[in-house]
Amino acid sequence: MKLFDVYPLFNIEIVKGKGCHVWDKEGNEYLDLYGGHAVISVGHSHPTYVKAISEQVSKLGFYSNSVINSLQQTLADKLGKASGYDEYSLFLINSGAEANENALKLASFHNGKKRVLAFQHSFHGRTSAAVRVTDNPKIIAPVNEGLDVSYLPLNDKAAVEAELKKGDVSSVIIEGIQGVGGIQVPTDDFLQELRSLCTKYQAVLIIDEIQSGYGRSGKFFAHQYAGIRPDMITVAKGIANGFPMGAVLISPIFKPIYGMLGTTFGGNHLACAAAIAVLDIMHDEGLVANAEKVGSYLLEELHKFPGIKEIRGRGLMIGIEFEEPIKEIRSKLLFEQKVFTGVAGTNTIRLLPPLCLSMEEAAEFISRFRQVLGVNE
């Protein structure tokens, strides 16, 4: 059997990781400034994480959601405290797309409405409703087109209110910081106005923190810079440091009914053990503060580079946009300087390293980036 060929691959096989470094099967070491699409939050092969998963799988890897799993409540307690959302409820699933699917569904259950407002250049997943609220026609199949979605310009308050006034909007979904869209940051005042408008017109505000959350922005959630509280928050990626997991943080305005949401694998014992270990490491090592500190250093240093169109981001979620395509720059970083980075569109490099990136490792990246661009200190 062949693999279904949907991924353009680099001719590199990564076989080992430690902290912010990975090694290929030939023994070459790379500095990881991408974390496997912002998934690696606490670093590769952290001993606390490895111990937690190993001990749990030796006892029990999985049993169903028809019986008590106290690890789920332990995770909920720790996440509520870490994020400042103690009074919210937690629904556990397996991915970011699933988190958004369930949030959109719960919003519609809540108010009986159907239409969704999303934003231009958004990305919320590749499944049914999640892909429909993603602003990319190339990945929306005819079967996905049934959901009524309007895509609005980011940071355009008037456009949002004009749509909400029509009275048929179930929910508004927005990323804390757009990732695939090129590290586009919603302004704080726009998010504050969005919160007010959703309350005024009785639409549910969903903030997708799948890429921007879990400390990446320098706060636990990127929307916390704006001082708002959405009705639902979706998370995944960094939640379990590579173990498949997603979650929805749900406001007390929603009332659960048996059977309205469900999952086979969501919140399984092994996933919960991984996610609990992540929160413990983040707390013990001060990784949210580290993301803010090291991210501020990177942003400051990158702004000194000539020939860059724009630097965007917060914390360790950074976009470096050039006037021209960056394929060659990214290739040189990877194959000559041994640095993994990401991409958005054709002209933007994305940096999404593990939150444990040190100042020394950040400085090393800046040095290697200078060599690629031919920039002197």
Domain match, 33 and 59 both: no
Residue 119: inside a domain: yes
Provide the residue range defining the domain that includes 95: 47-285
Angle formed at CA 192 by CA 189 and CA 193, multiple of 5 degrees: 85
Tell the residue number behind the tokens 């270990």, with chain if given.
277
Can you give the pLDDT at residue 376? 82
237 half-sphere exposure, CB direction, 13 A CA radius: 27
Residue 2: inside a domain: no
Are the C-beta atoms of residues 146 and 103 closer than 8 Å to each other?
A: no
Residue 168 has pLDDT above 90, yes or no: yes
Residue at a domain's end among 247, 266, 285:
285
Evaluated on CA atoms 301, 220, 250, 267, the torsion sign reads: positive
We report the CATH number of the domain holding residue 240 as: 3.40.640.10
- Tokens found for residue 99: 């988190």
Are the C-beta atoms of residues 253 and 88 closer than 8 Å to each other?
A: no
Residue at a domain's end among 285, 318, 353:
285
Beta bridge mates, 350: 319, 342
Neighbouring CB atoms inside 10 A of 10's CB total 11
Residue at a domain's end among 253, 285, 317:
285
The predicted-structure confidence for 212-254, as pLDDT tens digits, reads as follows: 999 999 999 999 999 999 999 999 999 999 999 999 999 999 9
Length of the chain: 377
Domain match, 180 and 195 both: yes
When pLDDT is cut at 50, 70 and 90, the band that residue 37 belongs to is: very high
* Total of domains in the chain: 2
CA dist., res. 266 & res. 62, Å (int): 10
Residue 107 has pLDDT above 90, yes or no: yes
Domain match, 20 and 76 both: no
The predicted-structure confidence for 316-357, as pLDDT tens digits, reads as follows: 999 999 999 999 999 999 999 999 999 999 999 999 999 999
What is the DSSP code string of 201-221? TT-EEEEE-TTTTTTTTSSSS
Reported for 54-61, long-range contacts at CB under 8 A and 24+ positions apart, including other chains, are 55/273, 56/269, 56/270, 56/273, 57/270, 59/269, 60/269, 61/268, 61/269, 61/270
